[in-house]
Amino acid sequence: MSANKSIVADLNAGEKLTSNNYDVWHRKVQFLLEMLDLHEPLTKELTEAERTNPRRVQANEDFRKKDRAARIMLLSSMSNDLLLRFERHRTTKDLWVAVKLQYGGTSTTRIRQLTLRFDGYKKRPEHSMREHILAMSNMISELQQAGHVLSNEQQLQAVIRSLPRSWEHMRVNLTHNDNIRTFDEVARHVELEEDRLLAERADKAAGEAMIAASKNLQRKPRQNSGSKKNAGGNGVANAKIDKKRSKKRGKGKEKPKGACFNCDQVGHFARYCTKPKTVPSEPFGTDRSKVGRNVPIP
């Protein structure tokens, strides 16, 4: 009993019967009921003689338990709207037959529904190309089981129409390639193209990552070996470096050793003197001791 409850819970969480997946659904449910030894109620009901036979009391009770369990599993594997529609059938056999009549027939309407679904099918964004091809292959099988066999050209054109707009180059290639004639051939080509695109994106991403890493390295400030050695707190070495730098800054102007030739004051050169320019009172070439003081220029 606990195993049956677990299976019912899985059915509630899994794929449900819809108006488009009966061919796969009824196989899965039938396999499940056979595994649980609950398949008998699918094709059998208790007759009046069996119900009134006193020797079959226990057998009838066992059959009713199987019938209830199988019916619950069938209803649990349906979508909500279909569950409300078919729950009025009180036995497993009635329920099984009603679902088959609704969705399992090979009527013209059923074939038209499957054909329209196949012809208008488009690749879903969340599906890989292999998942997309598998879905279309299942549709082809459903049409074959319904008695409608598609030609190779019909299958090929349906796959081409189902490709997304970003695959326009592949659409053109497949349309004009006479060597691709069957569903298996077109499936192989689109799967290989998906592999190529994935590899191309991976290479592009790796290249962009390398470029970004190199840019980050270029933006980092360069540190010389001296700064790394002094990073440990060597104060003496830092002081020597500061002293050398201060000496270099001080070498911009040399201090004069004698007096200014213009104003006769110590501390600057004549070219930097701010006082009026003067000329010697005696001509150049005379004895230095006889030269008078400088006379300001009027």
* Long-range interactions of 128-134: CB distance < 8 A, separation 24+: 128/194, 129/190, 129/191, 129/193, 129/194, 130/191, 130/194, 132/162, 133/159, 133/187, 133/190, 133/191
Least confident of 81-85, 132-136, 172-176, 221-225: 221-225
What pLDDT, in 10s, does the model give residues 40-64? Answer: 999 999 888 888 898 899 999 999 9
**pLDDT interval class at 290 (50, 70, 90):** very low
Measure the CA–CA gap between 18 and 22, rounded to whole angstroms.
7
Amino acid 70: pLDDT: 94
- With a CB cutoff of 8 Å and minimum separation 6, the contacts of 162 are 121, 122, 123, 132, 136
Q: Give whole-number Cα distances, 294 to 30, 256, 260, 269, 298, in Å.
A: 130, 19, 11, 16, 12
Residue 154 burial (C-beta neighbours within 10 Å; 0-12, 13-18, 19+)? middle
Measure the CA–CA gap between 171 and 161, rounded to whole angstroms.
8
* Long-range interactions of 61-69: CB distance < 8 A, separation 24+: 66/37, 66/38, 66/40, 66/41, 67/41, 67/91, 67/92, 69/4, 69/36, 69/38
* 242 vs 124, residue with greater confidence: 124
Residue 84 scores a pLDDT above 80: yes
Ranges of beta strands (E only) in the chain are: 278-280, 294-296
**pLDDT interval class at 140 (50, 70, 90):** very high
Taking alpha carbons only, the member of 223, 222, 203 closest to residue 211 is 203
Measure the CA–CA gap between 272 and 284, rounded to whole angstroms.
23
What pLDDT, in 10s, does the model give residues 158-167? Answer: 999 999 999 9
Residue 259's SS3 state is strand
Q: Which of 181-185, 214-218, 281-285 has the highest mean pLDDT?
A: 181-185
* 37 vs 260, residue with greater confidence: 37
Residue 244 burial (C-beta neighbours within 10 Å; 0-12, 13-18, 19+)? exposed
∠ CA 83-67-102, nearest 5°, is 40
Residue 258's SS3 state is coil
What is the secondary structure of 189-240 as a DSSP string? HHHHHHHHHHHHHHHHHHHHHHHHHHHHHHHSPP--HHHHHGGGT-HHHHHH
